Amino acid sequence: MKCLLSYIFFVEILLFLPCAAARPASLPHAAHGPLAAPLLPAAARSEALALAAAPAAPHGQQRPQAPATPRLAPAAEAAAETTRLASAARATASQHLALQAAYQQQRQVLLQTQARLRTAEQSRSQAWLAVAGLAAGLLLTLALSWWARRQLRQRAAREAQLRTRLATDLQAEVGTLLTRVSQQANQLSQRQPAPNPALDRLLGSSQAAAHTVRDLAWGIDAQADNTVGALLERMRSHLAHTAGAAGLQTELQADGLYSTLRLPAELRQYLYFIFKEAVANVLQHAARPTRIVVTLTHYSVANALMLGIEDDGQPTTAPARDGAGLHLMHERARALQGRLEVGRQPRGGFRVWLQVPF
């Protein structure tokens, strides 16, 4: 066995020089030392190891010979190994290029996905900002609307308190004083042995003044009866004390209204003032009138309230009435956002026509 191993070692030494001489310069040099690199080709080493591992033959018999295997020349074997390594290197390079291309493609896909995600995130942020802006604007609008309504309610409450206080003071002070004057004038008239025209005029004026003060207080008072029935009753009373007392026939017509319908305080007040001013113009400026017709109509389709005052005075060539009374009527019609028309009628007489939204 020792002899066989010595033989293998000797053969490797003999073959080392031609193998080293035939090794290409491109292959890495083997490290120094007998065991650093194989000195025999793979086929020769396998054959030697197989012989060493075979059992020893009995004494007097020869060891069986291993089958012969074809051997390649050392230079050819080195060239084949070089070719195989080059093929492996090319395959590795191709795989590396393929992996690099796949990596670049995946990287492009990742970058595109990240860009889309950033775009979607920006769009989502912009959408949230828009929603937040709309919500803030809506809240601000609601807050301003609530504040404006609150201010209007407070203003209306203050005006109602002021109206009530003025009406109370007017009725308590001026109305009471005029009533006392009227009573004293009546007592003096009764004590006179003969009729006294001046005293009768004083009595009539004081009574008219007291009635006017009561009307003013009723029109100003926000807590007074604001129904259509109360307004019509005031109109009838005023016609009786003015036109009726002057000997004129009076007629009051209401259409499309019911007595319990409530009117805004300002509308009730201005309607009554315009009505009184129109009746006063008839009594002062009409040419021999005999009749006054007052109409109050509600047109639900047009959402409008119509007030008309007509007389049957004789036709005249005098200029149309234009004074402080007509100016006040126009001012109050504009305050109600209404339209006022004043003029003569073709058949005679004068007509005042007011239309206000309601």
pLDDT digits (tens, 9 = 90+) for 29-73: 433 444 344 444 454 445 545 544 455 445 445 555 545 445 556
Instruction: Indicate whether 349 pLDDT > 50.
Output: yes
Indicate whether 312 and 340 sit together in one domain.
yes
Predicted confidence (pLDDT) at residue 334 exceeds the cutoff of 80: yes
Q: Is residue 117 part of a domain?
A: no
Question: Is the residue at 102 inside a domain?
Answer: no
Last residue of a domain, one of 221, 236, 261: 221
Give a yes or no: residue 38 inside a domain. Answer: yes
Q: Answer whether residue 15 is part of any domain.
A: yes
Query: Distance (Å, rounded) from C-alpha 344 to C-alpha 328?
Result: 19
Give the amino acid at 87: S
63 CB contacts (<8 Å, ≥6 apart)? Answer: 51, 54, 56, 57
Residues 181 and 204 in one domain: yes
> Does residue 296 carry a pLDDT above 90?
yes
Does 156 fall in a domain? no
pLDDT of residue 199: 79
63-77, 209-223, 340-354 — most confident range = 340-354
Same domain, 258 and 183: no
Same domain, yes or no: 200 and 262 = no
Spatial strand order of the sheet with 339-344 comes to 249-255, 291-299, 304-311, 350-357, 339-344
**Across the strands, what pairs with 340?**
354
Cα 349 from Cα 286, distance rounded (Å): 7
Query: Using CA atoms, how far apart are residues 302 and 353, in angstroms rounded to an integer?
Result: 16
Tell me, what DSSP letter sits at residue 349?
Answer: S
Do 211 and 230 belong to one domain? no
> Same domain, yes or no, for 273 and 317?
yes
Last residue of a domain, one of 12, 39, 57: 57
Does the pLDDT at position 155 exceed 90? no
Q: Mean pLDDT over residues 309-321, rounded?
A: 70
Three-state SS string over 64-77 comes to CCCCCCCCCCHHHH
Of residues 45 and 203, more confidence is placed in 203
Give the contacts of 305 (CB within 8 A, at least 6 positions apart): 267, 271, 296, 297, 298, 299, 355, 356, 357, 358
Please indicate, yes or no, whether residues 215 and 286 belong to a single structural domain of this protein.
Answer: no
3-state helix, strand, coil in the chain (%, to 5): 65, 10, 25
Average pLDDT over residues 81-89: 86
Same domain, 263 and 350: yes
- Tell whether 217 and 229 lie within a shared domain: no
For residue 349, is it within any domain?
Answer: yes
265 and 217 in a common domain: no
State the residue range of the domain holding 270.
Answer: 225-358
pLDDT score for 271: 92
Judge if 256 and 308 occupy the same domain: yes
Give the model's confidence band at 294: pLDDT under 50 very low, under 70 low, under 90 confident, else very high.
very high
Residues 290 and 283: their CA atoms lie apart, in Å, by 10
Q: Does any domain span residue 325?
A: yes
Least confident residue range of 45-49, 84-88, 96-100, 232-236: 45-49
Do 237 and 212 belong together in one domain?
no
Q: Does residue 287 form part of some domain? A: yes
The model's confidence at residue 325, banded by pLDDT at 50, 70 and 90, is confident
Residue 351 belongs to a domain with what CATH number?
Answer: 3.30.565.10
Boundary residue ending a domain (15, 34, 57): 57
- pLDDT above 90 as % of the chain: 24
Number of domains in the chain: 3
